[in-house]
Amino acid sequence: MALEVAGLIAGYGPVTVLRGVDFRAEPGRITCLMGRNGVGKSTFLKCLMGLVPATEGTIRLDGTALEGLPAHEVPRHGLAYVPQGRRLFGPLTVAENLAIGGLVQGNDRATLAHVLTLFPRLGERLSQVAQTLSGGEQQMLSIARALCLKPKVLLLDEPTEGLQPSMVSLIQDAIRTLTGQGVAVVLVEQRVDAVLRLADSVAFMVAGRVEETRDVKGLAADDRVVRTYVGV
């Protein structure tokens, strides 16, 4: 059930951003990608989803090759992605946004019910227009919509950026619950304190490669390794 990436190379036109990424995400674990701005963290998530084509390397989920698949096919194989900026359908209601997320899996009622147990606040706002939600509620909806795909691996790009602490706690609790249910979570996060509280392991990226992967239990906020790769 693991996501395994080997030798991944990708970029934008003539500009190579990913330079041979090796990476592994295990079911029931949260793996955080950290590194300075511009090292390729967001590009890596986009490449996993087929939004940025890989020119070399392999992406395997449960042994199935995902590299080269068109972006609309990737979610069918168990990957879901929550990008920065949420990208909701603002004029549509909460319920309509969730229904769009569930199209790939046939809008299974049991899945929707499960998602709403993770984010009960959304269940109270199903008829509310998405663009009128608070920032934290919009982020919940973005994650919930991705979960309607019933993913094996959930990719999150800075999901708590700019949110108030109470919302951050609610989202982190939902992420922990997901891993308890066997979902692998790959998280881009720059806040060291959040990573130390939430993640199981950290993959440090430098210049388009994963330079080192460490277990969180052996790290501290002022750790030399963290300072070296993140600059805090």
Q: What is the pLDDT of residues 43-74, one digit of tens each?
A: 999 999 999 999 999 999 999 999 999 999 99
User: Both tokens of residue 168?
Assistant: 């951050």
User: Both tokens of residue 5?
Assistant: 């990436």
Which of 202, 224, 222, 209 is closest to 29 using CA atoms?
202
Q: Say if residue 186 is exposed, middle or buried (CB neighbours under 10 Å; 0-12, 13-18, 19+).
A: buried
User: Which pLDDT belongs to residue 222?
Assistant: 67
Residue 232 has pLDDT above 90, yes or no: no
Domains of the chain, CATH where assigned:
3-78+151-230 (3.40.50.300), 90-149 (no CATH)
Reported as a single tens digit per residue, the pLDDT across 26-49 is 999 999 999 999 999 999 999 999
Query: Please, are residues 125 and 51 in contact by the beta-carbon 8 Å criterion?
Result: no
Answering whether pTM is above 0.75, one says: yes
Strand partners, 155: 81, 186
User: Which pLDDT belongs to residue 191?
Assistant: 85
The crossing angle, in degrees rounded to 10, of helices 94-101 and 135-147 is 30
DSSP letter, residue 132:
G
Reported as a single tens digit per residue, the pLDDT across 183-226 is 999 999 888 888 888 999 999 999 999 999 999 987 876 678 88
DSSP for 5-40 reads EEEEEEEETTEEEEEEEEEEE-TT-EEEEE-STTSS
How many residues in total does the chain contain?
232
Tell me the C-alpha distance between 145 and 139, whole Å: 10
User: Both tokens of residue 209?
Assistant: 């490669």
